[in-house]
Chain A
Amino acid sequence: MPDNSIADLRPRQGFQPSRLIGWVGREPMTASCVAVLLFFVLVAIFAPLIAGDPIALNPAERLTSSSESAIWGRDHLGRDVFARAVYGTRTSMLVGFSVAGLTTLFGVAIGIYAGMSRIGGAVIMRLNDAMMAIPAILLAIALASLMNAGVVTVIIAITLPEIPRMVRLVRSVVLGVREQPYVAAATSIGTSGLAMVWRHILPNTLGPVLVQATYACASAIIASAVLSFLGVGTSPEVPSWGGMMADARSYFRIHPELMAYPGALLSMLVLVVNILGDRLSDALDPRKTRRGSL
C-alpha cells in the first residue's frame, strides 16, 4: 500500500475541479466559448471516427434530404453533407491556427527588429504601409490563384497580407517599452541587445500579440472560406465549408440547407474565436475592470 502522507503535504497543484467550476460561474460567456472551441477542435481531430467518407460519390442519392446513411442529406454529387462538414472543420481549423501561428512568428520577429533598429525600422514600415495599401483579400486571391491549389498555398496566401498588421502592432508596443525606466536600468547594468529583447521586450508584446493572433485566426478562417467560395482555395477534393457553399449555390432555392449547414458552422467558429479575442483583450487591459457577460 503506498504511503500518501508525504504527497498530502505538497502544495496542491494541477487540476482542481472546484476552481474550474468557480471560473465557469464567474465567466459563463468565456467558458461557453472555450467549450465550443474545444468541441470544434475535437471534431477536427476525431473527424474519421465521427463521420463517414466525405468524398465517396453516391449519384443515386444525389440531393436527397436526411437519411439513415447521411443525417444531413447528400449534395449534388451524392456526397455525405455531414461528413463533408465534419472534415471541413479540419480544413478551417488547420488554416486558422497555422495562419495565426505563422503571422505571430514572422510578425513578432520583424516587428521587434523594426522597433529596435532605427534605419531598418523605417525601411520596414514603408514596405509595411505599401503591403497594407493592397486590399488583403485581393492579395490573397491573387497569390492563391498564381500558386498551385492546396492547403499550404491557402495558408501562405492568407498569412502574407496578415503579417504587416502584426508588425505594426508589435513595433508600436516595442517603441513604448523602449522608453520604460526598467529598460534604461537594464541597459545601465550592461544587458546586451538579444538578452534585452528576450527578457524585457518580448514578454511585454505577448498580451497584445495574443489578442491580435486570435483576430488573425478568425479572419483567416473567413478568408479561407472566401477563397474556396470563389474557387481559388483548397482543391475541390478537400472538403471545406467555403467549397461546400460554392457547390450549394446552384441549388440554393430548392436546397437552402446545403448552404445553411456550412454557413452556420463557419459563423459559429468565427464568432467564438472573435469573442475569445475580445475577452482576452479585456482581461489583458488593466484599464478595463468590467467583467460580466457579453
Chain B
Amino acid sequence: MLRYIVGRLLAAVPIFALVGIFIFSLVHLMPGDPAVLLAGDNANPKQVEKIRERLHLDQPVIVQFGIWAGNALQLDLGDSVYSNQPVTKLIAQRIEPTMMLAVVTLVITVLIAVPLGVIAAWRANGLADRLIMAFAVLGFSLPVFVIGYLLVYVFAVRLKWFPVQGYKPLEDGVLATLHSLTLPSVALALVFAALIARVTRASMLEALNENYTRTARAKGLGTFRILVVHALKSAGVPVITVIGIGFATLVGGVVVTESVFNIPGIGRLTVDAITRRDYPVVQGVILFFSALLILINLLVDLSYALFDPRVKG
C-alpha cells in the first residue's frame, strides 16, 4: 500500500515538471520580446525594463527557467502587471468562491448522475434508460453559458427565485452562499452530470454481468442491495476516474460560469487577466489549476486502493 502511494507520488513529479516547462514556454516561445508581451499593450518603457530585470531576461533561457521554477516552488508566481500585487495573493483572495462553486457542483453532480446511471443500467434499453441517455447527450452538448443564461432567464429574470448574478461570501452565512450559487452550480452540474451518468451506466452494466452479481442474486439478495452494494462498489473505480478526469472540464466550466454569473473567483481573475493582458497572472492561474488537477488525479489514483482490493500490492 505504502509502495503504491509513494510510486504514484513519484510519477506525478515529472508530469508537474513538464507542465512547468510548458507554461514557461507559453510566453517565452511566442514571437517577440517576452518583456513587452508580459508588460501588456499599455505598458511604458520603464515598466518593460522593470519586467526585463525581474525576469532576468538578459540571462540564458535555461537560467531564466531555473529562476522562475525556483520561485514557483517557493509559491512566488511573480507580480501582476496590472495591480502589482503578488499573483499568489490574488489567487488566495479569489479561492473561496471558486472552491465553493466547485464543491457544490460536484455534490449536485454526484447526487444527479450516479442514481441516473444506476437506473439506466438497471433498466438497460428500456424507456427510462433511453430518456436518461437522451438527457446525457443533451447535457453534454449544451454549452455551459447557454444553460447558464437559460436558467438565469427562467429562474432569476422571470420567476425571481434567485439572484441574476453575484456571490455572497461564506461570512454572510452558508445559506446565503448556497442561494447565490444555486443557478451557477446547477448549470455547471448538468454538463458534468451527463459525463458521469454515462460512465456510471457503462461500468454498472459491466458489473451487473459479472459472476458475483449472479451469485448475489442466487443468494436471494434484493435488487437494491445488488445494485448499490455489489455492483456500484465495483463500478466506483471508473466513475471516480472520470470525476478526476472531468475535473479539467469542471475547471473550464468554472472559468465560463464565473464570467456568466459575475462570481469573483479564480475563473473571473483569469478572464480579467486575459482582457488586461496580465500574463504573469494568466501563467500563475494555469499553473495553479494544473497543479490542482495533478493533485486530484493523484487522490483518484490513491482512492483506487479503497475501491479495488486488487490495487493493494
Contact = CB atoms under 8 A, between A and B. Distances in A.
Interface of A: 126-127, 129-139, 141-143, 145-147, 218, 222, 225-226, 229-232, 245, 252-253, 256, 259, 263, 266-267, 270-271, 273-275, 278, 290, 293-294
A134 B290 contact: yes
A230 B259 contact: yes
B256 A226 contact: yes
Given A130-B18, A271-B137, A294-B130, A256 B157 contact: yes
List 7 tightest A-B contacts by C-beta distance, closest first: A137-B252, A130-B18, A271-B141, A135-B251, A263-B146, A270-B141, A135-B248
21 contacts: A130-B21, A133-B294, A135-B290, A138-B251, A138-B255, A138-B289, A141-B274, A142-B286, A225-B143, A226-B143, A230-B259, A231-B271, A231-B274, A252-B157, A256-B153, A263-B146, A267-B141, A270-B143, A274-B141, A293-B130, A294-B134
Candidate in A133, A256, A278 with the most chain B CB atoms within 10 angstroms: A133
B282 A145 contact: yes
Contact of A274 (B140, B149, B271, B277): B140
Interface string B245-259: 000100110011001
Contacts of A136: 248, 252
Contact of A138 (B142, B259, B270, B297): B270
Contacts of B153: 252, 256
Given A138-B252, A142-B26, A271-B141, A133 B14 contact: no
A271 B290 contact: no
Contact of B142 (A143, A253, A267, A290): A267
B138 A146 contact: no
B143 A145 contact: no
Contact of A290 (B125, B259, B274): B125
Given A138-B286, A146-B27, A259 B149 contact: yes
Given A129-B15, A141-B255, A263 B282 contact: no
A136 B255 CA distance: 12
B285 interface: yes
A65 B295 CA distance: 50
A259 B23 CA distance: 34
A134 B145 contact: no
Contact of A133 (B134, B259, B293): B293
Nearest to B252: A137
A197 B14 CA distance: 31
B26 A131 contact: no
A25 B16 CA distance: 53
B110 interface: no
B2 interface: no
Contacts of B133: 294
Nearest to B17: A130
B145 A229 contact: yes
A146 B286 contact: no
